[in-house]
Amino acid sequence: MIALLNNSYLLISGALQLYSILLVIYILMSWVPSTRETKFGQLIAKIAEPYLGFFRKFIPPFGMIDFSPIVALLSLQLISRGIGQIYLMIFQALVY
C-alpha cells in the first residue's frame, strides 16, 4: 500500500513539475511571437492555453502586461504543495 502511495505521489508531482516547465516555455515563447506559429509552439499552446485561459478570465491585463501566467504558476505550485501535504498526512497515518 505504501509503495502504491509513493508511486502515485511521484507520478503526480512529476506531472505537475513538467506542466510548470511547459508553462514557462510557453510564457517565454510570447517574447518571440514567431515561435508560437511553429508546430512545437502550437502543440504547447494546446496544452497551456486551457489552464492559462481560466486565469485570464479573472485577471485582466494591465496595459501590455499580463499577470495571469504568474498567478497560474503560483497556483500550480500551491496545488503541488497541497498534494505533498496530503501525501505526508496519509503516509503518517499508514505508518503509525
Question: Considering the entire predicted model, what is its pTM?
Answer: 0.88
3-state secondary structure of 64: coil
Q: Are 85 and 13 in contact (CB under 8 A)?
A: no
Q: Tens-digit pLDDT profile for the chain (96 aa)?
A: 888 999 999 999 999 999 999 999 999 998 898 998 999 999 999 999 999 999 999 998 888 888 999 999 999 999 999 999 999 999 999 888
Please enumerate in sequence order all residues whose Cβ is within 8 A of that of 43, keeping only pairs 6 or more positions apart, or say none. none
Query: What is the distance between the alpha carbons of residues 19 and 5, in angstroms, rounded to a whole number?
Result: 21
